[in-house]
Structure 1
């Protein structure tokens, strides 16, 4: 892997990686800086020495001078740095981190308390400093992704790739106004830079092999907490919140065991064997990203899309119309995403008053359509007939294929539903009480 200048000159930095026979990362060369990793059969990173005592239940007790202690459930409860810095952690009955205390080598302390919703998603944290100041951060979610971070001074909204965990856009709202930034990521989706529309860099950093940030530069009051896909850094501890668990970049693994137990594999603390080509956005089960055969790979998406296409068309006759419909269905995903972008803009407040009113009407239209489908035979039969027509033409097969392949299928749904629903309601309105419009008994 190499990084080249914007002028297309020679590579300014070349990074080379080395792996063992099991595909595990054991070394890297970043320019003049070489890194070597020693791992045991279970994938635990070890001290750089000839011999190493076997780890009990894969609980790492020491790495590069840092010592670790665990509770009876296998949760990390203490981290002691060589310089005297100490981190102590507490968990609830569900093995979720709820409190920690960080004591620096100079005696300053920080305490943090974490709260979760009924789905186990972290919704807030409160950090108290030695000087008595307290700061609370709230989090907003879209499924399993953090899309909003809010403090007393700032609200940050993050837009991801549709259906994925790679950040694309960031909107910061403060008392001084709104700032729009774009993420520049590496091939794995890890942020490396934040830039404004005019090309100004707001944040720049270089992650190491296990996502620890180095050489970080940023404008005043600008922080960027996203690390590997699905990870959110906590400045007070250096740990990365990873949905179901917390990740420690110093160890390159999680601080608690896999919540799915033995189904998680032989090493319940493992992140991934190869952090240069694999991701674990949920803190549960990692896999290859990009080309390959893992759960987040393009080949896997294509395989699943083929299954969806087969399911959508198995009850339909295949003809030339089927092939034409397949192309129409694939194209509909692109068209549907126009409406998705408009909805997205509305959610972050970028639309004008008239457009906001228009989208609100469409939202009410969808609610009305749901009611009509449940209560009106005419609307229900018309909608069912359209679905059958699409199936016979291969429309749904094409939509399933393109939507899954590009990960844009869910975002296009709003556009399709909105258009079809408005048409149905218009037909219902023009029908009125005329008996000729109602289905014959």
Structure 2
């Protein structure tokens, strides 16, 4: 065994490796995760902090042919001679069968319950058409492969692009028209949206040198302004309407980029946050009140509790939540929640399609809420009591929703109530910007994490607001709660069932967990196979699969100047230090550390002894030093961190 330690002023982590360099254990404090390998040095098991094992069995070629989960749930894989999975034998005599084309692409999936999915591809291998029993999706692409038109049954969404490949216009068969103007770095300067002959909604934005939004001007003289510290973290958010402040928040961060407090500067209310040694968000407290703690305590494997002593919940193997103070929970053979019995006797039941997507919820009063999806996990219909809500998607976000009397996607266009049509406008990503309806246009304000917090009408009147707690529950709101149904990025609240639709799973904000096991298993990287993110002040999970940073501070900036690098639009003398463009781009895209030099406003991207120096003012690459030729202050990481003028960002 080879033992290494990683240590800073706050944490020490011990790593054990095999003689060939494979990680065998990671120990931090009292928590240890272990990894075992077969004779070919292939991973054979992951043993969690509780001693539960996730086991892999392989064939002679090294392909996984069986998985046994932390909860002893087994999956077996039947493969072709080429190693391609043809059938998955799942728990409870359930199965999935796949057909492939000559290139190995999946062209058909069949499930034990009789449901199916088909896929076809163009000559470049890009998805061209996909279908299930509910909907056919067709994609038309330009010569470069960008989608220029998407059909969802009878509805279509068309896209136009500028000369740099950025999308500049969106139109739809339901009358949407969204135009986007960008600066030379790709940041959105102006966005306009309208529907048919309706009045136009407009937003104008300004950015700092890191590509972060600092101002947004909206209809009704609504202005949103952001301030950031030198590392790109938000420190102040101010929203005004007709020169009157309507929202003011101040944020305080620690050296680990953890949010320590948030102050409502209009009311004086201060919320502080606490973290454990593993960077899990574990409590929130308002105004330092002794009895006003909201706990999000975490045990050794990542299970959540609402009390400090962690005695208010019971979890089974594999982190299945079995009981809380309010309810008991039951699961099927695959770990899907199938029943919740509240302590007052009210019972909720849940049913699923063969592919694992939730199909039906039966409420305590026996009312049924049913769901339909396309093959990409996008929900296209929600129906209850003979009334259906239909959704039309633009990529990964909802563009339209409307009501109909028909419980059928196929017949929806004949019975659609177009007066109920809502058009949603999103930023580049999962953050909504506007709601366009027949009654008017509404601007949406989001916090630094991308969570909607306020909405304003065209006259600048606030018509809706909401505040979430650390579980994502709406604990305060004005207006109709579901006027804006979006919560954390990628989540849509279904008030009928108390869950948030989160693309490939449903999130239960009351428990802080998903109702299903992560479809991508250990690859998800969430705290547990049912868990949401480790820190809901910093991370989001827009697909219900894996956590990612909600507030991207430097990613867009890196994209901007790696684009400049590709087009040779930079100043300096990189090549004389022995660094080629591909190496520099890799350092910018995948740095070990990022530093800020306050004396000259430079950013230093460090990776394995190599450094790229960037001008923060001009967003330009100045120079780069390879470890063999590096001289002076940037020779190694110690010489960087020893400089008083230099601060580590990431």
Structure 1 length normalisation: TM-score? 0.62
Structure 1 position 306, deviation (Å): 4.3
- In the alignment, which residue of structure 2 is the partner of 1:55? 316
* Secondary structure of residue in 1 paired with 2:274: strand
RMSD: 2.9
Q: Find 2:301's aligned residue among 24, 39, 42.
A: 42
Contact kept, 8 Å, 1:27 with 1:35, in 2: the verdict is yes
- In the alignment, which residue of structure 1 is the partner of 2:420? 154
- In the alignment, which residue of structure 2 is the partner of 1:244? 504
* Secondary structure of residue in 1 paired with 2:399: strand
- In the alignment, which residue of structure 1 is the partner of 2:518? 258
Q: Deviations over 1:199-226 (max 9, x none)?
A: 222222222212211233316x972211
- In the alignment, which residue of structure 1 is the partner of 2:245? 6
Structure 1: gaps spanning 5 or more residues: 129-133, 291-296, 321-400, 403-441
Contact kept, 8 Å, 1:2 with 1:14, in 2: the verdict is no
Q: Deviations over 1:80-127 (max 9, x none)?
A: 222333221001111100111011xxxx33211111112221100111
Distance 1:53 1:61, change over 3 A: closer
Q: Find 1:22's aligned residue among 275, 278, 299.
A: 278
Contact kept, 8 Å, 1:165 with 1:229, in 2: the verdict is yes
Q: Find 1:165's aligned residue among 430, 441, 445.
A: 430
* Secondary structure of residue in 2 paired with 1:12: coil
* Secondary structure of residue in 1 paired with 2:490: coil
Please give the alpha-carbon distance, in whole angstroms, between the structure 2 residues aligned to 1:287 and 1:249.
19
- In the alignment, which residue of structure 2 is the partner of 1:298? 553
Q: Which has the higher contact order (CA 8 A, sep 6+)?
A: 1
Counting matched residue pairs gives: 299
Structure 1 position 197, deviation (Å): 2.0
- In the alignment, which residue of structure 1 is the partner of 2:379? 122
Please give the alpha-carbon distance, in whole angstroms, between the structure 1 residues aligned to 2:566 and 2:347.
55
- In the alignment, which residue of structure 2 is the partner of 1:431? none
Contact kept, 8 Å, 1:183 with 1:194, in 2: the verdict is yes
Distance 1:222 1:68, change over 3 A: closer
- In the alignment, which residue of structure 1 is the partner of 2:369? 112
Please give the alpha-carbon distance, in whole angstroms, between the structure 2 residues aligned to 1:317 and 1:236.
54
Q: Deviations over 1:302-358 (max 9, x none)?
A: 334444444444xx99899xxxxxxxxxxxxxxxxxxxxxxxxxxxxxxxxxxxxxx
Contact kept, 8 Å, 1:110 with 1:236, in 2: the verdict is no
* Larger mean Cα displacement after TM superposition, 226-235 or 45-54: 45-54
Q: Within 5 A, what are the aligned runs for 1:190-269?
A: 190-218=451-479, 223-265=483-525, 267-269=528-530
Contact kept, 8 Å, 1:206 with 1:213, in 2: the verdict is yes
Please give the alpha-carbon distance, in whole angstroms, between the structure 2 residues aligned to 1:150 and 1:23.
42
Distance 1:50 1:180, change over 3 A: closer
Contact kept, 8 Å, 2:371 with 2:382, in 1: the verdict is yes
Contact kept, 8 Å, 1:193 with 1:204, in 2: the verdict is yes
Q: Within 5 A, what are the aligned runs for 1:382-401?
A: none
- In the alignment, which residue of structure 1 is the partner of 2:220? none
Contact kept, 8 Å, 2:315 with 2:322, in 1: the verdict is no
Distance 1:306 1:154, change over 3 A: same
Q: Find 1:135's aligned residue among 370, 375, 387.
A: 387
Distance 1:207 1:228, change over 3 A: same
Structure 1 position 72, deviation (Å): 1.0
Distance 1:67 1:114, change over 3 A: same
- In the alignment, which residue of structure 2 is the partner of 1:277? 538
Q: Deviations over 1:266-295 (max 9, x none)?
A: 6221211000111111112212222xxxxx
Contact kept, 8 Å, 2:283 with 2:293, in 1: the verdict is yes
Structure 1 position 234, deviation (Å): 0.7
Please give the alpha-carbon distance, in whole angstroms, between the structure 1 residues aligned to 2:465 and 2:517.
33
Contact kept, 8 Å, 2:295 with 2:306, in 1: the verdict is no
Structure 1 position 251, deviation (Å): 1.6
Please give the alpha-carbon distance, in whole angstroms, between the structure 1 residues aligned to 2:277 and 2:502.
28
Structure 2: gaps spanning 5 or more residues: 1-234, 239-243, 249-264, 404-416, 574-617, 620-650
- In the alignment, which residue of structure 1 is the partner of 2:358? 97
Q: Within 5 A, what are the aligned runs for 1:321-340?
A: none
Distance 1:11 1:204, change over 3 A: closer
Q: Deviations over 1:115-172 (max 9, x none)?
A: 11122211001112xxxxx2100001111111211113511111111x2111111111
Matched, 1:84 2:334: no
Please give the alpha-carbon distance, in whole angstroms, between the structure 2 residues aligned to 1:169 and 1:54.
41
Please give the alpha-carbon distance, in whole angstroms, between the structure 1 residues aligned to 2:558 and 2:300.
32
- In the alignment, which residue of structure 2 is the partner of 1:410? none
Structure with higher strand content = 2
* Secondary structure of residue in 2 paired with 1:301: helix
* Secondary structure of residue in 2 paired with 1:272: coil
